[in-house]
């Protein structure tokens, strides 16, 4: 079968790989019809992780079930399913608490927790930017879609990651009706956080970035754009709130945050968020923080090396703010978000700028990685 394979820094090739197949009675096999490129794939693509060459990428996947293992009872051949990027067992101590993002069973490294398709340090699982994907514990890890699945794949595929992730950022930030919320980053995740805040009835939502095309998308959904090339987000928000700052905010950029001169400063958006949000407000941080050196924490054998960065903790403490962090537990939200889409209340597919055949993955990665004008979110179709 064909898959988009990582072949070294900034090199992805679509090539033949061994066929995905059922390996365990609880597995299902999914023929992928829609699979996204995510900002998280770029950590691997840019060579900033220990991701092995020859492995397929892709953790935002939707498709049709073509085979089920002998122990699968709920999911049926022919079902269209969207697959949360977290691979979880459903029965470990963490999963029982709803923390499928830190499942203990699917991660073979004892010092780590959590697993995902086609992801560095998150288990050996292949990615779904491929014709077929093996899904462990299919009854648990597949969310079934309704009859409109095929024509609305562009919306439903966002349930695999970025819609629940954006929503999770707003949950950790405690966004509620009437709130004034700031979102750092107008990438796909930031746009989903802003969209989630608006769905929750936030009074005013600001989105800060320096990419004009992405800021226009934020405006399209009713957010207020802050262009960081000419404005300081904290100043804009304070001026609009009698000097107090936003009620809460989301960080959707991560360690690749950079200033308008293009200089990377991993603490930039964290510090901006702490400054922008008022006393006792909450911060939802979903942007990823990795070590700067390729090889990462696992290669060094010490998890504490993971993204060690100095930031304005003192100011955060003084302001009595709360911070939530980490990967999103997709399963916690995606059934409800699916039903918002099905009911016509949410159309997260607005982030999509390009729908391309899988064969064009190499150039799609290049454009998305460069944040080229107009390349907001790319969907790949393995069936052309």
List of residues contacting Zn ion (CB under 5 A) = 38, 40, 60, 161
| Gap between the Cα atoms of 65 and 315, Å rounded | 50
| Gap between the Cα atoms of 145 and 339, Å rounded | 9
Q: For residues 136 and 188, which CB has a smaller minimum distance to Zn ion in the complex?
A: 188
122 binds ligand NAD (CB under 6 A): no
User: What is the full DSSP assignment across 313-326?
Assistant: HHHHHHTT-EEEES
User: What is the full DSSP assignment across 271-311?
Assistant: HHHHHHEEEEEEEEE-S----SSTTHHHHHT-GGGTT----
Positions in 196-235 near ligand NAD (CB under 6 A): 208-211, 214, 228
Q: What token pair was written down for 253? A: 């950029």
User: What is the full DSSP assignment across 226-241?
Assistant: EETTT--HHHHHHHHT
Which one of 123, 138, 249, 254 is in contact with ligand NAD (CB under 6 A)?
254
> What's the Cα-to-Cα distance from 219 to each of 145, 196, 207, 340, rounded to whole Å?
30, 14, 9, 21
124 close to 108: Cβ distance less than 8 angstroms: yes
| Nearest distance from C-beta of residue 101 to ligand NAD, angstroms | 7
Which one of 127, 187, 249, 348 is in contact with ligand NAD (CB under 6 A)?
187
Number of residues that bind ligand NAD (CB under 6 A): 32
| Nearest distance from C-beta of residue 344 to ligand NAD, angstroms | 25
Positions in 301-330 near ligand NAD (CB under 6 A): 327-328
Q: For residues 103 and 186, which CB has a smaller minimum distance to ligand NAD in the complex?
A: 186
The contacts of residue 55 (CB under 8 Å, 6+ apart) are 5, 6, 118, 126, 127
Stretch that binds ligand NAD, among 4-12, 143-151, 235-243, 286-294 (CB under 6 A): 286-294
Residue matched to tokens 């794949």? 153
Collapsing DSSP to helix, strand or coil, 328 comes out as coil
> How many C-beta atoms lie closer than 10 Å to residue 242's C-beta?
7
Q: For residues 171 and 209, which CB has a smaller minimum distance to ligand NAD in the complex?
A: 209
| Nearest distance from C-beta of residue 187 to Zn ion, angstroms | 11
| Gap between the Cα atoms of 316 and 44, Å rounded | 31
| Nearest distance from C-beta of residue 60 to Zn ion, angstroms | 5
171 binds ligand NAD (CB under 6 A): no
Which one of 28, 38, 89, 364 is in contact with ligand NAD (CB under 6 A)?
38
Positions in 124-153 near ligand NAD (CB under 6 A): none
- Chain residue whose CB lies nearest Zn ion: 38
186 binds ligand NAD (CB under 6 A): yes
Rg over CA atoms, the chain = 20
Which one of 84, 123, 128, 185 is in contact with ligand NAD (CB under 6 A)?
185
Q: Which does 238 bind (CB under 5 to 8 A by kind): Zn ion, ligand NAD, none?
A: none
Q: Which does 61 bind (CB under 5 to 8 A by kind): Zn ion, ligand NAD, none?
A: none
Alpha helices by DSSP H, the chain:
41-45, 93-96, 138-141, 153-156, 162-172, 188-199, 212-220, 233-240, 268-276, 296-300, 313-318, 330-342, 361-369
| Nearest distance from C-beta of residue 42 to ligand NAD, angstroms | 6
Q: Which does 190 bind (CB under 5 to 8 A by kind): ligand NAD, Zn ion, none?
A: ligand NAD
Closest CA to 130 of 314, 308, 5: 5
| Nearest distance from C-beta of residue 36 to Zn ion, angstroms | 7
| Nearest distance from C-beta of residue 195 to ligand NAD, angstroms | 12
Q: For residues 224 and 356, which CB has a smaller minimum distance to Zn ion in the complex?
A: 356
290 binds ligand NAD (CB under 6 A): no
| Nearest distance from C-beta of residue 258 to ligand NAD, angstroms | 5
Q: What token pair was written down for 62? A: 């939707």
Q: Which residues bind ligand NAD (CB under 6 A)?
A: 38-40, 161-162, 165, 184-190, 208-211, 214, 228, 252-254, 257-258, 268-269, 286-288, 327-328, 371
């Amino acid at each position: 079968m064909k898959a988009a394979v990582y072949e070294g820094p900034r090199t992805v090739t679509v090539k033949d790989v061994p066929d995905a197949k059922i390996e365990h009675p609880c597995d299902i096999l999914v023929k992928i019809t829609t699979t996204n490129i995510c900002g998280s794939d770029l950590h691997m693509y840019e060579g900033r992780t220990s991701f092995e060459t020859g492995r397929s990428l892709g953790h935002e996947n939707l498709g049709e079930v073509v085979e089920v293992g002998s122990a699968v009872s709920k999911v049926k051949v022919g079902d269209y399913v969207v697959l949360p990027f977290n691979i979880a067992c459903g029965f470990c101590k963490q999963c029982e608490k709803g923390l499928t993002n830190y499942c203990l069973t699917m991660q073979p490294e004892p010092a780590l927790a959590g697993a995902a398709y086609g992801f560095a340090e998150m288990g050996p699982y292949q990615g779904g930017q491929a014709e077929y994907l093996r899904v462990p514990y299919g009854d648990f890890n597949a969310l079934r879609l309704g009859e409109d699945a095929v024509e609305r794949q562009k919306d439903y595929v966002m349930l695999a990651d970025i819609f629940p992730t954006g929503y999770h950022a707003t949950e950790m930030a405690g966004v509620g009706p009437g709130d004034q919320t700031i979102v750092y980053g107008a990438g796909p995740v930031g746009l989903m956080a802003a969209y989630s805040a608006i769905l929750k009835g936030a009074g005013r939502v600001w989105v800060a970035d320096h990419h004009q095309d992405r800021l226009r998308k934020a405006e399209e959904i009713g957010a207020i754009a802050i262009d960081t090339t000419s404005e300081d987000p904290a100043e804009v928000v304070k001026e609009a709130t009698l000097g107090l700052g936003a009620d809460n905010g989301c960080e959707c950029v991560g360690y690749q945050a950079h200033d308008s001169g293009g200089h990377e400063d991993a603490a930039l958006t964290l510090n901006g968020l702490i400054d922008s949000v008022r006393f006792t407000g909450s911060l939802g941080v979903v942007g990823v923080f990795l070590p700067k050196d390729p090889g990462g924490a696992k290669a060094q054998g010490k998890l504490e090396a993971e993204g060690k960065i100095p930031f304005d903790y003192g100011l955060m403490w003084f302001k009595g703010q709360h911070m939530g962090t980490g990967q999103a537990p997709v399963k916690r939200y995606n059934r409800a978000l699916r039903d918002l889409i099905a009911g016509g209340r949410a159309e997260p597919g607005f982030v999509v700028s390009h729908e391309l055949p899988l064969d064009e993955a190499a150039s799609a990665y290049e454009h998305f990685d460069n944040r080229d004008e107009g390349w907001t979110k790319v969907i790949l179709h393995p069936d052309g």
